[in-house]
Amino acid sequence: MQVIETIAAFRQVRSRYTGLGFVPTMGYLHEGHLSLVHRAKEECGAVAVSIFVNPTQFGPNEDFAGYPRDPKRDLELLEKEQVDLVFTPSPGEIYPPGSTTVVEVGDVTEMLEGAARPGHFRGVATIVCKLFNIVQASRAYFGQKDDERRAAVVLYRALTAAEKHFGAGERSSEALRRIMHDTLATEPQADIEYISLADRDTLRELDRVPPRGALASLAMRIGKTRLIDNCILEK
Ligand code: PAF
């Protein structure tokens, strides 16, 4: 496994590979990340992982400095998985002084998490675009949710309740939102931010769940901690 810190060095080493699978991460790796690495390995053979806590996707009230980091453990885990390349740039390597170019994706980034965290997806789209340009992968692998926050069992219970009723034939979005709401409301400390049942691609709220299913997503606060989770409702 090669651990590379600069763009120039990464480009040089990368040219030896064809068909690279790429897993972008912010480190502090867990099972979710490793499952993406397995999949990349199966489908592409060679795998590159980036570890970069991207400052531009954190809002002014979000704790960039406090984001958990454990680079030593991350590298040990990736070594065990026989990852080929690990890219660990510094913030200055990715955002040199004076860099002002950003990637703005309209519409879908203004809803749900985008509405709650203005500027977040500008930061995500910008770093992902930069990493894609550097890594030049054939395929990239992203997780669907932040496992680190799954501790909030009530979110999981709310989504499971929605899945159960959906499985039993419920298609009214209002009814499914109410089911999720009622489950969240059993947690007295939960301060609900949004309960959404939206189209899987456009993220627009739905009146009824169409045959191809929908994205159910939730955000709430317990004390100072903000928790999110989501699932796809499909047959
Ligand atoms: O979801 C994440 O881990 C991050 O947002 C990503 C895609 C690695 C970009 O920093």
Sequence-ordered list of residues with C-beta below 8 angstroms from that of 102, at least 6 positions apart, any chain: 56, 122, 125, 126
Each residue's pLDDT tens digit, 73-103: 999 999 999 999 999 999 999 999 999 999 9
Domains parsed from the chain with CATH numbers: 2-140 (3.40.50.620), 153-233 (3.30.1300.10)
Mutation test residue for ligand 1: of 127, 129, 147, the one with most atoms within 8 Å of CB: 127
Predicted pLDDT of residue 153: 83
Is the Cβ atom of 216 under 6 angstroms away from ligand 1? no
Q: How far is the CA of 98 from the centre of ligand 1 (A)?
A: 23
Each residue's pLDDT tens digit, 157-207: 999 999 999 999 999 999 999 999 999 988 877 889 999 999 999 999 999
Give the DSSP letter string of 122-152: HHHHHHHHHHHHHH--SEE---SS-GGGTT-
- Ranges 61-70, 90-99, 101-110, 206-215: which has the least confidence: 61-70
